Amino acid sequence: MGGRLGWRALVPAVALGLLLTGCEGVGVGDAPDEGRASYQAWGLNEASSDLDGEDRTVVLNGDLERDSGPLLTVDGRWDATGFVLDDSSAEQVRALAGQLPERTGDPACHRLVLVSDGLVDRAVAVLAPDEQPPDGPVTARRLDG
């Protein structure tokens, strides 16, 4: 019984730690096959996220310049390759290249995670601003596939 109590005591401590560091956790959601959409772009906390496990979770790093909120909102469309950002959103993402560690306060943060803004927030795709071409489409990889 002592082991159970220890585990239960750990959960609130982890939640408090995430709250104090400006991090927020979300689950992984299903991405649509096609259509237009808008998502909040957050920094991906690589150390605390599990994108490949059975109980996939995503821990978000907020923008320190925006009271730990999302870095930006991106618009685009879903197709067979993933979520293709419109030109304006693509330029905003390219402008974040090399800035995520400073903007989020997490030196290991180098990717963005796109999160639906609804009743239950769900991460749907990820992308790395540093790996995007200087011209052409910026595409985020699906997390559900």
DSSP secondary structure, 25-84, as one string: EEEE-PPPSSEEEEEEEEEE-TTT-BSSSSS-EEEEE-BGGGTTB-SEEEEEEEETTEEE
If one counts every other C-beta atom within 10 angstroms of the C-beta of residue 46, the result is 14
Q: Can you read off the two tokens belonging to residue 52?
A: 């490949």
Spatial neighbors of 109 by CB under 8 A, at least 6 apart, are 43, 44, 45, 46, 61, 100, 101
Q: What percent of the chain has pLDDT over 70?
A: 83
Per-residue model confidence as pLDDT tens digits over 97-117? 999 999 999 999 999 999 998
Please give the pLDDT value at position 23: 60
Res. 2: pLDDT tops 70: no
CA–CA gap between residue 36 and residue 49 (Å, rounded):
27
